[in-house]
Structure 1
Amino acid sequence: MLILDRKDGETIDRLLKRYKRKHREVQINKRLRKGKFFSKPSVERREEVLKAKYIQEKYRTED
């Protein structure tokens, strides 16, 4: 999650523009990191499933 502090006198439009720029940079960095090495599609799918299980367990225990 991106957090931006609003500067004094900054308009919402300018803040939104800063947010979009920062979000775009984060996505570029993710793609570069992912492209450094190859992982098989089956391994990627397994990681997605494990991540989903982890998130579900995390929210289930908080109740």
Structure 2
Amino acid sequence: MASHDESRTDQPDATVGGPPTLNADGAKVINFEDLARCGNEVWIRNGGQLYRLQQTRQGKLILTK
């Protein structure tokens, strides 16, 4: 999974708690904080598999199966 760099200027500015925004390619952008809702992890079910997306203390995201 690619890391996310907050200092990059090509990232759209999604508002916290607001609806998803679209980037230049038309893809939805959702803040991790909106997904995790006051936590540091979220579980994602995809194709019958369960994945854990967690944010580290350094702010990086880790996706594990």
Q: TM-score of the superposition, structure 1-length normalised?
A: 0.21
Greater C-alpha Rg: 1
Q: TM-score of the superposition, structure 2-length normalised?
A: 0.21
Q: Larger strand proportion, structure 1 or 2? A: 2
